[in-house]
Every structure is written in C-alpha cells, then in structure tokens.
Amino acid sequence: MSSSRATWWQSAVVYQIYPRSFCDANGDGIGDLPGILARLDYLRHLGVDVLWLSPMFPSPQDDAGYDISNYTDVDPVFGSLADFDLLLAEVHRRGMKLVLDLVVNHTSDEHPWFEASRRGRHDPQRDWYWWRGPRAGMAAGAPGAEPTNWASAFSGSAWQFDEASGEYYLHLFSRKQPDLNWENPQVRSAVYRMMRWWLDRGVDGFRMDVINMISKDPRLPDGIVGSVGSSGFGDGSPFYICGPRIHEFLQEMYAQVFAGRDAQLLTVGEMPGVTVEQARLFTDPDRHEVDMVFQFEHVQIDHGIDKFHPTAFRLVDLKASFGRWQAGLAEVGWNSLYWNNHDQPRVVSRFGDDSDRYRVRSATLLGTVLHLHRGTPYVYQGEELGMTNGVFGSIADFRDIESLNYYAAALAGEGSGAPQPGDPLADETAGGTAVTAAGPGRQPDDSTVLAALRRMSRDNARTPMQWTAGPHAGFSSAEPWIGVNPNHRTVNAEAEYADPDSVYSHYRRLIALRHSHPVVARGSFTMLLPDHEQVYAFLRQLDAEQWLVLGNFSAADVAVPLPDAADWASAELLLGNYPTGEAIGSPPDAPAPARSAELWLRAWECRVYRRTAPPA
Ligand code: GLC
Ligand code: CA
C-alpha cells in the first residue's frame, strides 16, 4: 500500500470491551456502561486508540447480547441511552474512538421484525426472514423433515419448526437468532437506516458480526454430511459463507451508510471461513467494502473435527498461516491482528504457558509477536494483564449457550461429542480423574466433555475482568454472573499498572511503538525461519530502517540460526521481556553446534532489534 493510502487506523490499536464482564458499577453482578465510564482513564493510560463494545442493545441474552431485540436502545442491564451518550462523549474527550457491534445476520426472535414475520405466511414482513416448508414428500415437523440438512453453530439443526404456520425458519446460530433475509431490499434499507442513526449519534464505526454470512444461496442446497463434527448434519457453509451477493451487499452498505462522511471511521467484518483471496477483495480500498476483516485461520489451527476436539499446537503451522496472510495482503488490503476475543480461549493458556513460572514471559512474547505484524492489532480485555483461562469445576460453572448445548448433545450421544481416535484430550486429566478415550460413536463421559470445554469454551474469555486482588476481583460488589478466576489475587490491573515488568506495562510499550515508529504500521513484512519449531522470526522494513522480531515459543534455550545473527546481536535492542543487562550469549553447557550461533533466546523470550538496512 503506498503511503498516500495510509489511513489513521493503520497505526491504531483497538481494545475490545465485553460489557457484561468488564466492570459493574451498580452492584448487580453484571458489567455495565457506567462501569466502562469509570475505567476510561485506565484505557487511555494503556494507550489504545479505539474501543469496540460488544453488544449492549436490548436482548433476551440467549447468546449474551448477540441476539438483539431492539437495535436503537441500550439494555437496562447495561444502562440507558443517556449513559451511552455520556460514555461516547467521554471517550471522545480522551481522544479515543468508539465502535459498536453490528449484528445483522440475524436478530432475536423477540425483535418486532421477527414477531411480525412469524405472525403467518401472509404477513408483509414474512419474507424478512428465511421461511421454508418441509423437505419434499415429508410431513411438516416430522423427524428429518427440515428444509435442509444444515447444522446450527450451536448444535442441532439450523431450522426451527413453527407449528402455527407449518413452516420452518433458518437460524445459523441459536433458535432465538433467526437469520435475516438480505435478499429482501426492505431488510437492507432498515439495517442501513439503523447504522446511519448510530453514526449520526457520533459512533466511529462498526465491528460487523459474521457479516460474510448475510448472502445465502437462495436455493439452499443440502450440505455434505460428515464434515461438521461427527453429527448427522450437513455442512451448509459453502452456501452461506461469502455467498453470491456478499460483495454487492457490502458495497451497497458502503454507499448508503459510509460514503460522503468525512469522519474518521473504522469498519471491520468478522468473517469465519474467509480466504486470503476473498479478504483482499473485501479490503481493497478501491472496492469500498470494509477496512479490514477478522479471519479465523490462526485460531482454528488447533481444531480437530471441531473446536471441542482440539489437536496439538504446532508453531510451524501458525507461522505458515500468518505468513500467507501477510503476503496475501501486502500490496492490496489490510490485516487485522488478534489472539483473543469473547469467543476464543485465552491465548496465554492456549499458545503460551500459563504456569506461574512462564505466564508473564509467554504473554509478553505473544503480544510482541502479534503487534509487530503488519495490520491493526486488537487487544481483548484482560489480555493486557495476561489473564488466563477460567476455572470451571462442573457444567454448572459454564454460562455460554455454545458450551451448554454442546455438553447436552455430547452426553446424549448426539452431534460431535463422541471422542475421536487420536483425541489429545483422551490423555488429559479432568479434576484429577484420568479420562479414557471411547471409540467413535460411543458416548463420552462427563469428564471427557468437561475437559474439552475447559480448554476451548468461550466462557474462558468471559470471566470477570481482574481489577484488584480484593473480593470479586474488584469487578463488582456482588457475586458476579460468572465465576472470577482465583488467580486475580496475583493477576490484576492494580498490581500490574505501575510494575514496569508486568504484562500491562509491556503492552503499553508495544502500543507506543506502533504510534511512534512508522515501520510498525507501514513497513514490509518478511517471515524468517518458517520451519523452525520453536523460534518465530520476522523482519519489518521501511526505507532504510529494518527491525528483527524474535520469539522463543518454548521453555528451552534456543539458538536463532540466522546467517546475519552476529550483526543483529550488536544492533539496538528496542524491546525485550527479560531484564536488560542480563547476559544473552550462548549457555556454556550448550551442545557444540548450537554454541556457534551468535543469537540465543531464553525461555519464552522475545526481542525486537533495530538497525539500518545493509545495502541490497
Ligand atoms: C459471532 C460472535 C459470537 C456470536 C455469533 C452469533 O461469531 O462473535 O459471539 O455467538 O457471531 O452472533
Ligand atoms: Ca451492573
């Protein structure tokens, strides 16, 4: 991208707030907008530029707010529209921006649009959603009579039968999240009108929930069976991921909502299953679709047949994935960079080491490697503290619909809950009990399923933000809606804020680097050592300035086998996660071949060097 194209969000860092779990101001155990307001100075001090709020709209909360029943108000549990206006003004007063979550692939089944639509086949709003009769030749409501064999993302069929009209409606997510029919122009203009309403109120853009699912192949063909877990359902995704009219819809949205506004706005489309090639089209500035997308490849590299059958993490796979995305969007388009959000387990527990010994080192390494790629980084609340996965004793400790539905289906022997051959969870222990693998088709026991949930559940991201070592981690004066992680006694904002060696302080330095050094936002990217199993290494370069970013994804000392290692070892060390001044030469007891390398990394060490590029 030429520098004339450089836009403000290339050197910005976005911070995601999950309101329910961030800060509770009124003592009901649930986070709220006044709670966020009370913490704005913390966020300003961290240095982030943009806040993204997960949904705070009125909602039955079936999917924690991603099921919206009114797009132009605030749920009383989170506050009021007046609280929102005050929050927005105070965010702006601190020089930050605020983007909202736009959830328009579906609404709640309690949204007035759907309530009208389900009134009957002849309601004028019937066609705002996807209604279909039973499969040809089958009786409505009979087992297997759903219009297609598609699975819902939250277990079971993607179709819900409506007794009154004898038809089914489509819900790619929960039964309480019916999919809007974007083929209908009235739906599209109602959505655009709502988006303009928020922009006119002063918000600075949108994070667009599963936006690459809004265009469906209207023929709704059956999907292939056997690719979504081991359930009997088919995979409908080829017919709704980046469907036939997706680019047309996003261009129309741009024209109707964003074109001609001179404010500095940000749009990011959440796009499961998007490829690099498609992402380049979505983010090519000349096409006027979105500024950047959230792709999923790197957060699925440890998935087996589904996320609840995880496989071992391999660094070479991670590097191959990031390397392809960096190259694919180098000239045209733009990356977003994230480890965490409200749907992912905590990265330090996932790709790092969350033991007391290595938590800080591995969390700072992960942040460093991510933030220094080319793209806009996103920090999810608590990531800047090195927050870890939650502690969940039994199924009663989980709250998320995806986890609860999966658990029920797995124990009933339905869906993909059955253990698979080679399942790594088979040899993990759950609560001290050894888990034995059953064969495919056999019912897993409670401890096998719980082990999977502990590792991959979305609730890992949703435990309360750890503000202090005190009761309820300073999140609330009351019992929170989901359990606090007991490690808040040591892992908390109060302890980390002024500690120069904390994860928090390291994230501050990283964010400041992006703001002060154009090479971070605009430099080229070159992956090094793609086949090395422990070392993540890459170069950034802008004009004559060259940076080397190194990370050791292991607890062992490793040599960095770069041909110009000696030169780098004497370059300026900009950032690291070990105290400076400590010797970084090769350990004396190192094996002979390793000893010859000039650059060594200690356990979970990261380093960022700068030099003037040697002449080509
Ligand atoms: C997105 C959200 C997730 C939600 C789903 C359905 O993936 O991030 O939390 O469950 O869409 O809205
Ligand atoms: Ca509250």
List the Cα angle 563/569/574 in 5-degree steps: 125
Cα-to-centroid distance, 412 and ligand 1 (Å): 25
Helices and strands (H, E) in the chain, number of each type:
17, 22
Query: What SS3 class is residue 344?
Result: coil
Decide if 64 contacts 400 (C-beta within 8 A): yes
Q: Which atom of ligand 1 is nearest to the CA of 458?
A: 9
The residues, any chain, with a CB within 8 Å of residue 359's CB and separated by 6 or more, are: 348, 352, 353, 386, 388, 491
Nearest CA among 148, 162, 153, 144 for reference residue 106: 153
The residues, any chain, with a CB within 8 Å of residue 357's CB and separated by 6 or more, are: none
Whether 200 sits among the annotated catalytic residues: the reply is: no
Here the tokens at position 458 are 């979305």
Which listed residue (75, 101, 235, 270) is catalytic? 270
Q: Determine if ligand 1 sits within 6 Å of the CB of residue 378.
A: no
As beta bridge partners, residue 524 has 541
List the Cα angle 138/141/142 in 5-degree steps: 55
CA distance 188 to 42: 38
Q: Determine if ligand 1 sits within 6 Å of the CB of residue 173.
A: yes
CATH class, range 108-179: alpha beta
**Count of all residues that appear for the chain in the document:** 616
pLDDT digit string, tens, across residues 83-101: 999 999 999 999 999 999 9
Segment (H or E) for 404: helix 401-411
Could you tell me where the beta strands, DSSP code E, fall in 416-517? 429-430, 433-434
Q: What sign for the dihedral angle of Cα 311, 317, 322, 328?
A: negative
Which residue owns the Cα nearest ligand 1 atom 4?
66
Cα-to-centroid distance, 26 and ligand 2 (Å): 5
As beta bridge partners, residue 295 has none
Mutate to test the pocket of ligand 1, among 61, 274, 343, 403 (most ligand atoms within 8 A of CB): 343
Fold matches, 108-179 and 523-612: no
SS3 sequence of 40-63: HHHHHHHCCCEEEECCCCCCCCCC
pLDDT digit string, tens, across residues 261-301: 989 999 999 999 999 999 999 999 999 999 999 999 999 99
Nearest CA among 168, 173, 182, 251 for reference residue 216: 182
CATH topology of domain 523-612: Immunoglobulin-like (2.60.40)
List the Cα angle 142/143/148 in 5-degree steps: 95
CA distance 193 to 182: 14
Residue 462: CA count within 13 A, CB half-sphere: 24
Q: Determine if ligand 1 sits within 6 Å of the CB of residue 353.
A: no
Nearest CA among 216, 283, 278 for reference residue 254: 283
Cα-to-centroid distance, 23 and ligand 2 (Å): 8
Q: What sign for the dihedral angle of Cα 227, 229, 230, 231?
A: negative
Q: Determine if ligand 1 sits within 6 Å of the CB of residue 103.
A: yes
Q: Determine if ligand 1 sits within 6 Å of the CB of residue 63.
A: yes
Q: Determine if ligand 1 sits within 6 Å of the CB of residue 102.
A: no
Q: What is residue 182's predicted lDDT score, i.e. its pLDDT?
A: 99
In order of 199, 300, 576, the CA distances from 362 in angstroms are 39, 20, 12
Distance of CA 79 to the CA centre of its chain: 25
Domain boundaries, the chain: 8-107+185-413, 108-179, 523-612
Decide if 322 contacts 315 (C-beta within 8 A): no
Residue with tokens 């047949």: 305
Whether 252 sits among the annotated catalytic residues: the reply is: no
The mean pLDDT values, 10 residues at a time, for the chain of 616 residues are 68 98 98 99 98 98 98 98 99 98 99 98 98 97 96 95 98 98 98 98 98 98 79 92 98 98 96 98 98 98 94 97 98 98 98 98 98 98 99 98 96 65 44 36 82 98 98 98 98 97 98 98 98 98 98 97 93 92 50 60 97 85
Q: Which atom of ligand 1 is nearest to the CA of 103?
A: 12
Here the tokens at position 416 are 């993909």
Q: Determine if ligand 1 sits within 6 Å of the CB of residue 209.
A: yes
CATH class, range 8-107+185-413: alpha beta
Mutate to test the pocket of ligand 1, among 16, 20, 66 (most ligand atoms within 8 A of CB): 66
As beta bridge partners, residue 369 has none
As beta bridge partners, residue 336 has 376
Which listed residue (62, 209, 354, 459) is catalytic? 209
Cα-to-centroid distance, 22 and ligand 2 (Å): 10
Cα-to-centroid distance, 9 and ligand 2 (Å): 32
Decide if 293 contacts 269 (C-beta within 8 A): yes
CA distance 20 to 342: 11
Residues with CB in 5 Å of ion ligand 2: 24, 26, 28, 30, 32
Q: What is residue 413's predicted lDDT score, i.e. its pLDDT?
A: 84
Q: What is residue 430's predicted lDDT score, i.e. its pLDDT?
A: 36
